[in-house]
Amino acid sequence: MTIRVVIIDDEPLARLAVKVRLARRAGFELVGEFGDGASAHEGIVALQPDLAFVDVEMPGKSGLDVLAALPPAQRPMAILLTAYDGFAVQAFELAALDYLLKPVDDERFDEALDRAQQAFPYHGQSRATAVPPSTPTAPPKARTFSVRVGSRTVLVPVADVERIEADGDYATLHAQGKTWLVRERLHNLAMQLDPAQFHRVHRSSIVRLDMIAELRSLTNRDALLRLRDGSVLRASRTYMPALAEALQHRSIDE
């Protein structure tokens, strides 16, 4: 099933960058692009796209204003684009699928499209019944990982996994002082994990949120994470908004 897409950004080069990346992926059709908030609002109402790439900051009516002005039943799935990382709370309130920092990393862009394809069936149901897109039940997540050890297959509980690191076409699970090599790419593993418990913090690492003991911001908007086992990992700026939002909501829930 094809996902119909619009791009909302006042910068022509930024719209072109999204179009070029979008053209590489099957299952997506660009149906419109808009350079200001007023025309974007009219276009969304007329075209009823499934997905919108939305620049957060634009002259006049901002991208967030455009989304907020739409009734939930008319609001497309949204991937927010911005050069700044201070809009994560608004992104959460508007049930945005993802939040990409400019300049957008190719791998993060592909992850956002994967999220759109996963959410699309549920989003279609929610729009048809006038239910906000934040309410659908997510697909079930993995409870164990199957690991081959010689001639044996070992089941590693996901609850025991503290972090996962990429190793080419493989990934290394760190669980209770042991390491397990899984023949699976990190990106595929990330899609199997509960985002309320695990977060991608770098293109080469995933961390269980309750393992993070300290987060120290760096001048380039990256961060250093100190884990409870003493390990230190770098968190990339492209993953920081979603990570900060997850940690904030985790602290509120606790």
Q: Residue ranges per domain, the chain?
A: 3-128, 144-253
With both helix axes pointing from N to C terminus, report the angle between 106-128 and 12-23 in degrees, rounded to the nearest 10.
Answer: 80
pLDDT of residue 87: 55
- The residue with tokens 């961060």 is 223
pLDDT of residue 94: 67
pLDDT of residue 20: 94
Rg (CA), the chain: 19
76 neighbors 44 (Cβ within 8 angstroms): yes
pLDDT of residue 253: 59
- Which one of 2-6, 73-77, 128-132 scores highest in mean pLDDT? 2-6
pLDDT of residue 236: 87
Does residue 210 carry a pLDDT above 70?
A: yes
SS3 155: strand
> One fold for both 3-128 and 144-253?
no
Task: Tell me how far CA of residue 165 lies from CA of 30, 177, 179, 223, in angstroms.
Answer: 35, 14, 10, 17
State pLDDT tens for residues 46-91: 999 999 999 988 888 888 899 989 988 889 999 988 877 665 555 5
Long-range CB contacts for residues 100-104, cutoff 8 Å, separation at least 24 = 100/238, 101/221, 101/237, 101/238, 101/240, 101/241, 102/14, 103/17, 104/17, 104/18, 104/21, 104/238
Does residue 194 carry a pLDDT above 80?
A: yes
Q: Which fold has domain 144-253?
A: OB fold (Dihydrolipoamide Acetyltransferase, E2P) (2.40.50)
Report the pLDDT averaged over residues 157-173: 92
227 neighbors 233 (Cβ within 8 angstroms): yes
Handedness of CA 97, 101, 103, 106 (dihedral sign): negative
Here the tokens at position 242 are: 């979603």
- The residue with tokens 């497309």 is 76
CA distance 173 to 192: 14
Confidence of residue 128 (pLDDT cuts 50, 70, 90): low
Q: What percent of the chain has pLDDT over 70?
A: 86
**Amino acid found at 195:** P
Q: 3-128: which CATH architecture? A: 3-Layer(aba) Sandwich (3.40)
Report the pLDDT averaged over residues 199-221: 90
Report the pLDDT averaged over residues 133-141: 52
